[in-house]
Structure 1
Amino acid sequence: MRLNIPLTGDLEVEAVREVIESGYLTQGPKTAAFEAAIREYTEARHAAAVSSATTGLHLALVALGVQPGDEVIIPGFSFPATANAVIQQGAIPVFVDIDIETFNLDPSLLEQAITERTRVIMPVHAFGLCADMDAINDIADRHGLPVLEDAACALGGTYHGRHAGTLGTAGVYSFHPRKIITTAEGGMITTDNDELAARIGVLRAHGAVRGELFMEFVDAGFNYRLSDVHSAIGLAQMQRITEIVDGRRAAAQKLRAALEGIDGVRLPIEPKTIAHTYQSFVILLDDDIDRDEVIRRMRTRDIETTLGTYGMHLQPYFRDRFGISDAQLPQTTRAHHQALTLPLYPQLEASDMVTIADALRASVAESRRG
């Protein structure tokens, strides 16, 4: 049983065929239509399609004026792309510990991480659950800092009725095959800031502004565009977005029910006013359970699982460059070692949930330390 299977079919195949037969393959009318679909769905004023969420984060940081030597605050627990985008700009990622209940940045630790070199606060909506954005935005406002949401996993998620990715200065979604919708590879930047959107548009396409006959290059930009081939898949996926999000949420509730009562397993939480996308269904194992051994045991039962995501300070590059100790990020360290992602997607049947639960129960029992 695979960890995730994208919900795709004839709709996506026909969309790609149409683009290929048109002869217009690069960024064009399909990309514009995809951006419009995201704007309509999220109620964001602007949306700019990009080649990946990673390039989207980097582009947004550049557009926000982040310079080499500046600091960007991020949670310690995330896929390294969050920090890589900061480093690509020559800036310094400042890791803040997480709330172990939500796996999101702990706002109570945020203010003490702000220095005179801080330029952006970049929370991550872990696994599709929005961070505590009211608290984060309050702190950001007091210090005059923009908030860039890493909403890679959170398209379709909401916070007090507002869409993830529209809660700060700008947000970035991912369309990797493990995300809510897919374009194979791709991402989207959303913002309500007209000036920021205009700068993103210029920087995304080589720093060019198109005149009557030719382009004029007004900045040293990037080629971070999304092709019409990818955008056509995204447009087809947006026709399924309600089915996909509702399907993931329904599957999560069935899996939750099947897992209830397994000793040593803490299930994901979902506060009443925050709608989780369940891009990943991540549980937390008690400290006396060897999580890596559980992954091995589940594999022998033909069920794919993996870690939640990464404590970045534990990865060789970040460990060697920044030298952050486990004691500085205790909850991040715990989550890195004890979080476990289980299979979840709308195509799973009720019998699959039972299979996952039975396999997990046995694997956990076999993986107790001591």
Structure 2
Amino acid sequence: KYVSVVNSGSSANLNAFMALTSPLLGDRRIKRGDEIITVAAGFPTTVTPAIQYGAVPVFVDVTIPQYNIDVTKLEEAYSDKTKAVMIAHTLGNPFDLSAVKEFCDKHNLWLVEDNCDALGSKYTINGEEKFTGTIGDIGTSSFYPPHHMTMGEGGAVYTNNALLNKCIRSFRDWGRDCVCPSGKDNLCGHRFDKQYGELPLGYDHKYVYSHFGYNLKATDMQTAVGCAQLEKFPSFVERRRHNFDRLRAALADIEDKVILPVPCDNSRPSWFGFLITVKEGIDRKAVVEYIENHGVQTRNLFAGNLIKHPCFDEMRATKEGYRVVGTLDNTDRIMRDTFWVGVYPGMTDEMIDYMAKTIKEAVNQ
């Protein structure tokens, strides 16, 4: 029902998380020291807002070849401090929304879907197919140039909850209490006649601040680009699916040497990329170097294992500020053995076939 456009996907995640810290949410508000269940195998800005605020990320391992959260570990991750689950649909492959939503409902937790890499993905829950990002309490999107659609730079935060929307808008727009859009004044008719905090009676509501907010807005020019992109978006998604399917079929004969990606049950992914994990005896570094040297770009699965990065050095040393559930064996394997290639809709079948040929040569060298 409600969408707030912002200036990036990372800002969208920041905006979504901070909305859950609002005093307006009462007992469900996230406070410093509360825990957020997430994964370490992904992009850092799914986790960064929680750490910067002073909440505690609780890291759960993922499954291969879906590369999403291992839902069998959710109950083990839960504690009396848990307030939310905030995870991404990895490269367009939806996580097990049925299991995660059931877990969140059972424990009265917020669910934030980082949908930045999955715009257009669908998931069937309770017999109804829905877009990812619309099943949890809040969804986020990114419109960075390589993503499913672009505004040059941009993002969005969306929810069906009117109170959450109020919090999202406030944090996006400097923390102000007024909900009037820019250029509009006194839509409520009470701009100068109410009492707020310890301010004088009638203090201009346009300059009353109920949160410590940011300026995360996008420009009109960016949103104009986004509107034009929306018209083309369905064809982008279909081409990404076509490219993914063609590449997967072409690589089927090397499954003795690599693990190919598998969609989550009950899902119809809008693929952002094609993940490949090399099996024992295959050196990812050598494979990636060969592919790159033959004109095909590759990427790691973002942070691989975020906990291993320099930003965690102090936290690892003090063993404070985060928690790990069990082991992160698959996360570590992804860090060592996984890479991905694109399925950008502008690629032709000939380009996809060349990519497949190059990957097979790299694995068999």
Q: Which moved more, 1:130-139 or 1:83-92?
A: 83-92
Q: Name the structure 2 match of 1:341.
A: 340
Partners of 1:130 and 1:346 lie apart in 2 by 20
Q: What letter is aligned with 2:218?
A: L
The 8 Å contact of residues 308 and 341 in structure 1, kept in 2 or not, is answered as: yes
Q: Name the structure 2 match of 1:101.
A: 65
Partners of 1:111 and 1:55 lie apart in 2 by 30
Q: Name the structure 2 match of 1:296.
A: 289
Q: 1:272: how far off?
A: 5.6
Q: Name the structure 2 match of 1:185.
A: 153
The 8 Å contact of residues 66 and 264 in structure 2, kept in 1 or not, is answered as: no
Q: Which moved more, 1:199-208 or 1:266-275?
A: 266-275
1:147-162 equivalences in 2 (<5 Å): 147-160=111-124, 161-162=129-130
Q: Secondary structure at the match of 2:276?
A: strand
Q: What letter is aligned with 2:315?
A: R
The 8 Å contact of residues 291 and 297 in structure 2, kept in 1 or not, is answered as: yes
Partners of 2:213 and 2:356 lie apart in 1 by 49
Change (3 A) 1:326 1:207: closer
**Does residue 202 of the first structure (1) align with residue 170 of the second (2)?**
yes
Q: Name the structure 2 match of 1:81.
A: 45
Change (3 A) 1:326 1:307: farther
Q: Name the structure 2 match of 1:146.
A: 110
Corresponding residue to 1:125 among 66, 69, 89: 89
Corresponding residue to 2:138 among 164, 170, 175: 170
Q: Secondary structure at the match of 2:87?
A: coil
Q: What letter is aligned with 2:298?
A: T
Q: Secondary structure at the match of 1:345?
A: coil
**Does residue 54 of the first structure (1) align with residue 10 of the second (2)?**
yes
Q: 1:319: how far off?
A: 4.8
CA deviations over 1:11-68 (Å, ceiling 9, x no partner): xxxxxxxxxxxxxxxxxxxxxxxxxxxxxxxxxx111111112222122222112222
Q: What letter is aligned with 2:307?
A: H
Q: Secondary structure at the match of 2:352?
A: helix
Change (3 A) 1:272 1:132: closer
Q: Which runs of 5+ in 2 are unaligned?
A: 22-29, 192-203
Q: What letter is aligned with 1:97?
A: D
Q: Name the structure 2 match of 1:279.
A: 272
Partners of 2:264 and 2:97 lie apart in 1 by 13
The 8 Å contact of residues 248 and 260 in structure 2, kept in 1 or not, is answered as: yes
Q: Name the structure 2 match of 1:13.
A: none
Q: Name the structure 2 match of 1:361.
A: 360
Q: Name the structure 1 match of 2:194.
A: none
Partners of 2:146 and 2:253 lie apart in 1 by 28
Q: 1:273: how far off?
A: 2.4
Partners of 1:281 and 1:102 lie apart in 2 by 11
Q: 1:320: how far off?
A: 4.0
1:307-346 equivalences in 2 (<5 Å): 307-309=300-302, 310-322=304-316, 328-346=327-345
CA deviations over 1:243-264 (Å, ceiling 9, x no partner): 1001100111111122120241
Partners of 1:327 and 1:294 lie apart in 2 by 31
Q: Secondary structure at the match of 1:304?
A: coil
- Figure out how many residues of one structure are paired with residues of the other and give that number: 322
Q: 1:326: how far off?
A: 11
Displaced runs of 4+ in structure 1, greater than 4 A? 323-327
Change (3 A) 1:355 1:166: same
Partners of 1:327 and 1:83 lie apart in 2 by 19
Determine which structure has more spread, i.e. the larger CA radius of gyration. Answer: 2
What TM-score does the superposition give when structure 2 sets the normalisation length? 0.84
Q: Secondary structure at the match of 1:134?
A: helix
The 8 Å contact of residues 41 and 301 in structure 2, kept in 1 or not, is answered as: no
Partners of 1:165 and 1:326 lie apart in 2 by 25
Q: Name the structure 1 match of 2:230.
A: 238
Residue identity (%): 30
Q: Name the structure 2 match of 1:224.
A: 216
Q: Name the structure 2 match of 1:265.
A: 258
Q: Note the aligned Cα RMSD (angstroms).
A: 1.8
Q: 1:222: how far off?
A: 1.1
Q: What letter is aligned with 1:139?
A: F
The 8 Å contact of residues 55 and 85 in structure 1, kept in 2 or not, is answered as: no
Q: 1:330: how far off?
A: 0.4
Q: Secondary structure at the match of 1:307?
A: coil
Q: What letter is aligned with 1:269?
A: V
Partners of 1:199 and 1:350 lie apart in 2 by 46
Partners of 1:93 and 1:217 lie apart in 2 by 32
Q: Which moved more, 1:155-164 or 1:318-327?
A: 318-327
Q: 1:344: how far off?
A: 1.6
Partners of 1:73 and 1:48 lie apart in 2 by 24
Q: 1:327: how far off?
A: 7.3
Q: Which moved more, 1:113-122 or 1:125-134?
A: 113-122
Change (3 A) 1:152 1:115: same
Q: 1:140: how far off?
A: 1.0
Partners of 1:319 and 1:148 lie apart in 2 by 27
Q: What letter is aligned with 1:175?
A: F
CA deviations over 1:121-156 (Å, ceiling 9, x no partner): 112100001110110111111111110111111110
The 8 Å contact of residues 258 and 279 in structure 2, kept in 1 or not, is answered as: yes
